[in-house]
Structure 1
Amino acid sequence: MNIEPYLTPYKYGKPVLIGSGEKGSFDERCVDCPFVFQHNEKFYMMYVGFDGVGYQTGLATSENLLDWEPIGTILRRNEGSGWDDKNIAGTWIMKENHIDAPPVLKKWDNKYWLVYHAYPENGYEEGSAKIGLAWTEDENLLEWHRLSEPILTPEAGDWWEKGGLYKECLVEHGGTFYLYYNAKNTNEGRWIEQTGLATSKDLQKWERYSNNPVLRVSENRWDLGFVSDPCVLYDTDRYQWVMYFFGYDYKKAQEGIALSKDLLHWEKYPDPIIEIGKEGEIDSIFAHKPSVISHNGVLYHFYCSSRRHKEGDPTVNFGNEFRTITVAASEDIFS
């Protein structure tokens, strides 16, 4: 199993995006869940912010992939259809899939399509989340229209997803839409998160794959608790699909990788490809939630980084945590 072409061992070691820390701002406590893409010759990052009440979703832009400027909130509280008006996390906009090509957005039915999940209650991921879709014709990507009903619910799912649905990855291939998502088996006590798949021909009607979950936790290993947050890309040269994900053993969250020839059957590499940092480093608690793109022949691997809060940090999240977004690369471009 050759994963060498997909590795990003060189860490930036600093945040590229930090929550505002401003009272009443959607990202007062932290930023989370990066999704990086290219649009109209600019780089964009969609990301989730937490303000102590719930999630909302924002957008930032960059010229160089390291310096990011927030430009607005695109999925806001109190603007949904009841099920999604409190706590809403956008995680993926449909784009080109190739790992070695510009990650530009692509349209279907003359619209851009965004997938998100929403929790039914205020608080930090309170209740069982459902998955929804939003669309826009706005080339500035600031005004989104949400479908009134969710496309996937935990109630309609199998045993492994009854606790709620999480971060999504939407891929179009050969006229079929593939929606990867992670889900938890219960809301009570310590849960297990695994990654499943649903498919559709029209983005409206979805059918869960019969052999879910497609990515499963490993016994007594670094990913024994979670295999979550899929980021799926296609390698044209090697005729295979690559899934970046994170594993969690209830102590450390670290990045992993899996490969597939058909989008259905996945082989996990047995070890993490990005480990947590040393004590005090920006990712000393968590290094997780991947968004990987290629630019000028270099892979940029954005992820959510967490360490213990220090005096002077602009934000503090639950658990005395400083949660930011950082990046690693396939080449040593940060020296």
Structure 2
Amino acid sequence: MLKKMPKPIIVPSENGFDSRCSYNPAVIREGSTYVMLYRGESEDGLTGRIGLALSSDGVSFVKHPLPVLEPELGCEIMGVEDPRIVKIGKDYLMTYTGYDGKIARLCLAISRNLLSWGKVGAIFDEFPGNYLRPKNWTKSGAILPEKVSGEYVMYFGDSNVWIAYSDDGLNWEYEREPVMKPRKGKFDSLLVEPGSPPVKVGDSIVLIYNSADENLVYRPGIAVFDADDPSRLVWRSEKPIMEPEYEWEVKGKVDNVIFVEGLVDLGEKVLLYYGAADKYVGLAIWEGTLRELIEKAGGGDVIQG
């Protein structure tokens, strides 16, 4: 279905902040330049930082030598991790995970140039615990970069998927009931969480999501929500759209992981950027439209408009 590059497009550096792992990429295209923000960890393995890499073709990236986001706040003292990025107006918004050694919190940063970032801090002051996560644990915020019904929408969470709404993209209020849950006996039976930022296609919102089963094999799927009611799940794939297959996807810091965080929609081509085995960055290419990818995944004509 998707053609995966046979080798990683980003690997750990020989030394520096990302010498142990370089993975979980967010990617945005600005003019003819592809900008990647990725999670880097050094050999001490203690603290995550966010690095930056640039490309003219979306495949061959050159890393910036220094991280663009480092732990500073108390809620992120042990790491800043797993960025997603969108552009709203003139501002770039990055959601990321801040980790203090015990609790992961969904955080937000803002930039005008993708290099210098101002931190807004943790998005939610409190959040209820559940079967998998303790109280106040939040992660994986994926923002739709256009308003629907007068509000911005964000899907988030890494056990179930929840939804939150915002007038300005900075201040968010969440709904307490999840909009998507794991499914017993499926590839997403243990947990589900948003992947790359969602995309509006016709009258629908398309979300590539990540998931794991009880064997802790991570594979992505596709979910479709109603743009008139972004909390209403219309359809989701019965099978994953990718599987860990290559040695560098199967063996790493965490084995058997494909974790999508970046999507670039070029119209007649879709680029999906993913973390592999919590160590590398991989790229999968779909030669067709996003609508056609959903149809190929088994959704038929679920996208309307």
TM category, shorter = 0.7 to 0.9
User: Structure 1 135/327 Cα, relative in aligned 2: closer, same or farther at 3 Å?
Assistant: same
2:204 is matched with: 240
Q: Pick one of 258, 261, 264 that aligns with 2:223.
A: 258
Q: Among the aligned pairs, what percent are the same residue?
A: 21
Cα distance, 1:299 vs structure 2: 0.9
1:167 is matched with: 140
The Cα RMSD (Å) is: 2.2
Cα distance, 1:81 vs structure 2: 2.9
Q: Which amino acid aligns with 1:89?
A: E
**Greater Cα shift, 197-206 or 42-51:** 197-206
Aligned equivalents of 1:217, 1:297: Cα separation in 2 = 31
Equivalences for residues 209-224 of structure 1 within 5 A: 209-211=175-177, 213-224=178-189
* SS of 2:160 mapped into structure 1: strand
* SS of 2:232 mapped into structure 1: coil
Cα distance, 1:295 vs structure 2: 2.7
User: 1:180, 1:230 within 8 Å by CA — same for their partners in 2?
Assistant: no
**Greater Cα shift, 285-294 or 62-71:** 285-294
1:84 is matched with: 76
Cα distance, 1:329 vs structure 2: 1.1
Cα distance, 1:48 vs structure 2: 0.7
**Greater Cα shift, 164-173 or 283-292:** 283-292
**Greater Cα shift, 288-297 or 221-230:** 288-297
User: Structure 1 265/230 Cα, relative in aligned 2: closer, same or farther at 3 Å?
Assistant: farther
* SS of 1:283 mapped into structure 2: helix
Q: Which amino acid aligns with 1:19?
A: P
1:229 is matched with: 194
For residues 155-198 of structure 1, the C-alpha deviation after alignment (integer angstroms, 9 at most, x for no partner) is 43353653521222122313412122123xxxxxxxxx221111
Q: Which amino acid aligns with 2:224?
A: L
Q: Does 1:178 align with 2:153?
A: yes
* SS of 2:247 mapped into structure 1: coil
Q: Which amino acid aligns with 1:289?
A: V
Aligned equivalents of 2:82, 2:281: Cα separation in 1 = 15
User: 2:274, 2:281 within 8 Å by CA — same for their partners in 1?
Assistant: yes
User: 2:5, 2:282 within 8 Å by CA — same for their partners in 1?
Assistant: yes
1:316 is matched with: none
2:167 is matched with: 201
Aligned equivalents of 1:296, 1:180: Cα separation in 2 = 23
User: 1:255, 1:290 within 8 Å by CA — same for their partners in 2?
Assistant: no
* SS of 2:74 mapped into structure 1: coil
User: 2:27, 2:85 within 8 Å by CA — same for their partners in 1?
Assistant: no
For residues 16-44 of structure 1, the C-alpha deviation after alignment (integer angstroms, 9 at most, x for no partner) is 1111141xx22121122111111243111
Q: Pick one of 35, 46, 49 that aligns with 2:37.
A: 46
State the TM-score, normalized to the length of structure 2: 0.81
1:106 is matched with: 88
User: Structure 1 167/21 Cα, relative in aligned 2: closer, same or farther at 3 Å?
Assistant: farther
User: 2:10, 2:23 within 8 Å by CA — same for their partners in 1?
Assistant: no
User: Structure 1 13/261 Cα, relative in aligned 2: closer, same or farther at 3 Å?
Assistant: same
User: 1:75, 1:90 within 8 Å by CA — same for their partners in 2?
Assistant: no
Aligned equivalents of 2:170, 2:56: Cα separation in 1 = 35
Which stretches in structure 2 are left out of the alignment for 5+ residues?
A: 251-255, 289-305
Q: Pick one of 33, 53, 56 that aligns with 1:63.
A: 56
For residues 271-301 of structure 1, the C-alpha deviation after alignment (integer angstroms, 9 at most, x for no partner) is 1111221xx5332322222422123621111
User: 1:181, 1:230 within 8 Å by CA — same for their partners in 2?
Assistant: no
Aligned equivalents of 1:286, 1:134: Cα separation in 2 = 27
Q: Does 1:116 align with 2:96?
A: yes
Q: Pick one of 266, 274, 288 that aligns with 2:242.
A: 274
1:130 is matched with: 105
Which stretches in structure 1 are left out of the alignment for 5+ residues?
A: 1-7, 95-104, 122-126, 184-192, 307-321
Aligned equivalents of 1:235, 1:165: Cα separation in 2 = 27
State the TM-score, normalized to the length of structure 1: 0.74
* SS of 1:282 mapped into structure 2: helix
* SS of 2:185 mapped into structure 1: coil
Cα distance, 1:57 vs structure 2: 0.4
User: 2:27, 2:35 within 8 Å by CA — same for their partners in 1?
Assistant: yes
